[in-house]
Chain A
Amino acid sequence: MDNHLREMITADCQEVVGPSPEALDKLRNRQVFVTGGTGFVGTWIAELVIFLNDHHNFGTSLILLARDIDAFRIKTPHLAERKEIRLLSSDVRNIIDLPADVNYIIHAAATPDNRQHMSTPLAVMETITRGTATLLDAAATLQSLSAILNISSGQIYGRQCCATPTITEDAVGSLPCNTITSVYPEAKRYAETLCSAYWSCCKLPIVTARPFAFIGPYQSLDKPWAINNFIRDALTDNDIRIISNGMPVRSYMYPSDMAYWLLRMLVDGASGQAYNLGSPYGITLRDVAEKVKAYANTTAEVVIKQMHPDNSVFVPDNGLVSSTLGLEIKVPIDETLKRSLRWFRGAFRR
């Protein structure tokens, strides 16, 4: 990775941690086990942990579990070669034991890529359901476990009964269970209920995070999500196409905010509680596209095709995380887009 991109990540971590990292002190000299450890979430957790170690002497170690650790070694050798990071090659469904000295677990295995949900629905469901059960069975035997963070999905909120500007943690809507589009959110819902059952039966200290949308370094522009496509098209000078009326409202969180929030939820989240993870600041897709075009300085146009009306809103409410954990967004949307463009330009050059 280019030095300037690494410096950018370090500055991002510095910004979210701030001058006093005491809020994360519980992680000092502790070991964190991360499933899905080489994906987008796992990579950012690793970046933030090595920042804490390098700049604040945290002495935190990481075990990253993933099916393809070789790809991680190639993509991020600066992380893979760190002595405090251990890579384990395995499928989460096949876990039997966890290292006895694990103190924290972040369960991030399962792709949010909806193309995979459609093409391999059985494998996706099994990874989420059996993978979660297998992990929790193994976690139940740990003597020094402090907390487990189960990463669920904002999609579990399903269809909301009435239009609201933001979705609170108790606003669980309906999911049609007889369609292929429910494979991922329904499995995630089941996994949350499974966590509640383990919390109840085994008194496992489990906290849940419900991620919404993110954009920034370590994401892939080939993902089938609107903002990723906007950036890719802008960087290749292709028109930015929006099929709808451009009015769907979404929000985007920068990944350094995401990683910091996740670690805070891990160490300070209330056991049994679910927290929204995302920016509470909604923006229409039309406005996102216009901002991307402006910041990318592209000759491409934003084309609103008006093929179907869509006024949907998918934005988390942050009242709970703000009032109980004191978490706020550090990177606003304009800065999120500028940094993302800077990162992806660098990635394109490579």
Chain B
Amino acid sequence: MKKVIISDATLRDGSHALFHKLTKEHIVAYALAADAAGIPIVEVGHGNGLGASSLQVGLSLLDDREMLETARKHLSRSRLGIHVIPGFATINNDLRFAFDYGVDVVRVASHCTEADITERHISYTREQGKEAYGVLMMSHMANKEVLLDEALKMQAYGAEAVIIMDSAGAYLPHDVQDRVGHLAANLKVPVGFHAHNNLGMGIANSVAAVEAGARIIDGASRGFGAGAGNAQLEVMVAVFARLGIETGIDLYRALDAADIVEREIMETTPYISSVSLVSGLSGVFSGFARHVNLAAKEYDVDARDIFFELGARKVVGGQEDKIVEVAMELQQKIKRG
């Protein structure tokens, strides 16, 4: 029987959907439920990862230490994971203390063509005896050859898995099979996949990833994540069970965890809004959706036009300031007729 490791992004990717306003009560309730379900890895933190709380990408209600300390206290079976983007997170100010708070798995992420920046963070994590994964974000912006080249760097730096993220929810299943298959055939470490649901393909793409050789799959309960949300974790557990893919997760408990997210944490259940769909089509990071909607309202322009223009400019996560710039330019264009 095929086995996969499910990595749960609910308390990290879901932070985007709450404008990074996760509370201690949210973390306690969900961590207990995820732990009871036997979810192998539970990620916690700001949507953009450790050290990312800022005016530019959104201020966290809780600081990183509070989030990690709270989660750690309520996870016994599940391992505690964090998302780390070098630049937001520094080794001395952020990563060092994260280990003091009991982090087990560090997912060191970069834009899909910039794996070079992950070397020190991956090395430092390995030096502390902890597990380090490399994560290539916005992976639809690179072809499979470029992704392999970047993934090989992460492998050389000491990454014990390389995960490609469909940050914009832009993939169709054959895109996933093409890329994951190429990585799985050429890397010595396991390959993982992180889906977003902008085109309604979250589960289908995750299945395609496993069929192509992925061994680590990300999901979020009720799909609670940026934009149209992630691959819905409890659905994934059920579908994988039907396909004979072992996750080691208790389905009933996973359903309970999802109910807690819907009842106690999320403001609205993720759905494929027009804007999210356009985000997927234009290949723009799902997490931009709320910022784009606000800018569209403020400058009285069509959010869909903003997305397509951002896509044309190949804007990536961390360039949120471009949203307002594009909105203002579109407004000027309209005024000029």
Contact = CB atoms under 8 A, between A and B. Distances in A.
A307 B189 contact: yes
B188 A233 contact: no
Nearest to B126: A229
Given A115-B123, A224-B157, A243 B189 contact: yes
Interface residues of A, number: 23
Contacts of B298: none
A166 interface: no
A224 B132 CA distance: 12
B149 interface: yes
B129 A238 contact: yes
Interface in B88-125: 116, 119, 123
A241 B152 contact: no
A222 B123 CA distance: 7
B41 to A, nearest CB: 14
B119 A241 contact: no
Interface residues of B, number: 21
A116 to B, nearest CB: 9
Contact of B119 (A119, A179, A243): A119
Given A180-B152, A222-B127, A307 B190 contact: yes
A238 to B, nearest CB: 3
A115 B156 contact: yes
A224 B158 contact: yes
A310 B188 contact: yes
B153 A233 contact: no
B16 interface: no
A29 interface: no
Contacts of B127: 221-222, 232
A244 B188 contact: yes
Interface in B4-61: none
A224 B126 contact: yes
Given A118-B116, A180-B153, 20 more contacts: A115-B119, A115-B123, A115-B156, A118-B119, A118-B156, A118-B157, A119-B119, A119-B153, A179-B149, A180-B152, A181-B156, A224-B126, A232-B127, A232-B129, A238-B130, A239-B129, A243-B160, A243-B189, A307-B215, A308-B189
Interface of A: 114-115, 117-119, 179-181, 221-222, 224, 229, 232-233, 236, 238-239, 241, 243-244, 307-308, 310
